[in-house]
Amino acid sequence: MSKRDFYEVLGVSKDASGSEVKKAYRKVAIKYHPDKNPGDSEAEEKFKEAAEAYEILSDDQKRAQYDRFGHQAFDGSGGFGGGGGGMNMDDIFSHFGDIFGGGGSPFGDFFGGGGGGGRRQRKGSNLRIKLKMTLQEMAKGVEKKVRIKRYTSCEPCNGTGAKNGTDMTTCSTCQGSGQVQKVVNTMLGQMVSNSTCPSCNGEGKIIKNKCDNCGGEGRMYTEEDVSINIPPGVDDGMQLSMRGKGNMPKGGGVAGDLLIVIEAVEDANLHRDGENIHYELHLSFADAALGTTVEVPTLSGNVKVPIDAGTQSGKVLRLRGKGIRDINGYGVGDQLIHVSVFTPNKINSEEKELLKKLRESKNFNPSNEHKEEKRKSFFSRMKDFFAQ
């Protein structure tokens, strides 16, 4: 399968400035970020494709080569830094982690990308937990404390795996740099790419004597209480992440992430649809005909709602602002009350006689006016509803 044009991948023109390229990459990368698309292999490929495009177009020299020779300028160079041949998530976060940080995001560590710069560090595995939340908690936001078991850095050796944290020697393969260079001949001349040193796994040092506490792993399996601040507006199935609260890798590096999957607890009375809350109100025939005042549960407690005389079954009442706040801060939903007039399944003889008398009354027979109301189109009724 042929590669897409890098400018097309980021959605920029060929004369786009460096800042425009960076802005476009950030937009695409956030859209297809693994934390926002868990288990979506297609999104992951697009995420990598965008990083590859940015790696070339953000470098003036590489961009000039690409503009002249296209993808062929980097064919065969291999590894990250030569067209993305060996690119993985650690490469992307290590090189471009700053793209995802900053900007005043209200979510802090959520949807984080990891830091960049310097020698690439190994990243530990992620942890995934399910967090049960009620509708009330989703509406207000909440701080939850959970206990997790994870690998953390060994304190006696500072995560190095070496006795006292210092009993190490410089790696002879990479001379302490943590990287080895590979030179490849291309049509443009020699291309140099860097990769992690296989002897020291990028650490630049070799352990002489292992730590007695962790046996040289540089990590310990521990229990930890974690406070999770959940913002208002989260929904069932949504996944959030806390950077650095996953497992530490062997021999040091950076911890993986804690992935939090929101699981909604079903409410006995209220049902959610996006930012709106729905409640089904069952009225007796007498209350619907005569009018009354009823108490209705909401996310913030019971409220009294007046019911007009002659209220019809199927009518929808709206309590504005009684829904759930949009997670991006775009307003608050409403609570919709669906009126259902109750018809008893069983009646006694006295009630039966009363109903027979009422049936003969003119007011208890559908009039032409009522029939006309029934014939109103769906769109007309929806218009009336939204005009409330």
Q: 162-167 contacts: CB < 8 A, separation 24 or more?
A: 162/205, 162/207, 162/208, 162/209, 162/210, 162/211, 162/216, 163/208, 163/209, 163/210, 163/211, 163/212, 164/211, 165/211, 167/207, 167/208, 167/209
Are 219 and 155 contacting, i.e. CB atoms less than 8 angstroms apart? no
Is 171 among the annotated ligand-binding positions?
A: yes
- 25 is known to lie in a ligand binding site: no
Phi, psi of 65 (to 5 degrees): -65, -40
Q: Which helix (H) or strand (E) covers residue 259, if one does?
A: strand 258-264
Contact (Cβ atoms closer than 8 angstroms) between residue 272 and residue 264: yes
Is 200 one of the annotated binding-site residues? Answer: yes
Q: What's the rounded Cα separation, in Å, for the pair 22 and 321?
A: 38
Specify whether the CB–CB gap between 121 and 91 falls below 8 A. Answer: no
Is 197 annotated among the ligand-binding residues?
Answer: yes
Half-sphere exposure of residue 244, counting CA atoms within 13 Å on the CB side? 9
Q: Is 211 annotated as a binding residue?
A: yes
Q: Is 54 within any annotated ligand binding site?
A: no
The answer to whether 123 and 151 have CB atoms below 8 angstroms apart is no
Any residues with CB less than 8 A from the CB of 239 and at least 6 apart, and which? 35, 36, 38, 259, 260, 261, 262
Q: Known binder of ligand: residue 139? A: no
SS3 content of the chain, % helix, strand, coil (to 5): 30, 30, 45
Give the phi and the psi of residue 306 in degrees, each rounded to 5: -75, 140
Backbone angles phi, psi at 253, to 5 degrees: 140, -145
Give the separation between CA 275 and CA 332, rounded to whole angstroms. Answer: 7
330 labelled binding-site residue: no
Q: Is residue 126 helix, strand or coil?
A: coil
The binding site consists of 154, 157, 171, 174, 197, 200, 211, 214
The binding site for Zn(2+) consists of 154, 157, 171, 174, 197, 200, 211, 214
